[in-house]
Amino acid sequence: MAAVALVAVMGCCGCRFGANPAFAAAHEFVRVEQAHRRLEQAAAALARCSQETKAPNGSAEARPSSALANAQRGFEVAWIRSQRTTAAFLSRALRAAPNAPEIARALEFVASDAVEVATLVRATTKDTQAALRMLRSAERTFVSVGRPVPVELARALATTSGRVHDKKVVGESRRGPM
């Protein structure tokens, strides 16, 4: 009975009995998806708290709030965990299974998360430099793995850094740093 269970478990993870366990990209990618979902939830909570703490006249001056501070801390933790989880996955996947479709999905998360998070950071804290650091970090990820920087990420970088009219940046995918 135990042997049947062991074979069933090993078969589910894509391992072959008697062989060294291979990197199972789909199995490992689950952690990336979980971290991505947690980041989305933390970003939504931060956006909600930020809206709730705005001054009654709708101005950008927010009233201090412990709920907002907690939401910001939760968001920062989720962002760091998401970045670390995705980086660890990409590091292993690129070595062990360079053609795994999960790599492309993880890179999509890198780009979309950076754009969404940078937008949120600019809206809630007005910290353009922090937003720019997040976008540049995502850009470096693409450059380091030899993949083109997605158009949405290039546009966000251009807009955030104030270089909207640079035709080499906006409207086309590119490789390499700005």
CA distance 14 to 120: 39
**Which residue type sits at 69?**
A
pLDDT digits 0-9 by tens, 128-160 = 999 999 999 999 999 999 999 999 999 999 998
| pLDDT value for 67 | 85
Residues 113, 118, 124: CA angle, nearest 5 degrees: 125
CA distance 149 to 8: 41
Average pLDDT, the chain: 79
Q: Is the pLDDT at 175 greater than 80, yes or no?
A: no
CB-based burial label for 125 (10 Å; 0-12, 13-18, 19+)? middle
Helix ranges (H only) for 65-100 are: 66-96
Cα atoms in the Cβ-side hemisphere of radius 13 Å centred on 78:
23
| pLDDT value for 121 | 87
pLDDT digits 0-9 by tens, 17-48 = 433 356 799 999 999 999 999 999 999 998 88
Contacts of 25 by beta carbon, 8 Å cutoff, 6+ apart: 93, 96, 97, 100, 101, 102, 103
Contacts of 135 by beta carbon, 8 Å cutoff, 6+ apart: 114, 115, 118, 153, 156, 157, 160
Residues 73, 138, 54: CA angle, nearest 5 degrees: 35
DSSP assignment letter at 163? -
Q: Encoding tokens for residue 129?
A: 């430099």
pLDDT digits 0-9 by tens, 74-122 = 999 999 999 999 999 999 999 998 999 999 999 999 999 999 999 988 8
Residues 99, 147, 164: CA angle, nearest 5 degrees: 150
| pLDDT value for 22 | 67
DSSP assignment letter at 57? T
Whether residue 136 contacts residue 129, with contact meaning beta carbons closer than 8 Å, is answered with: no
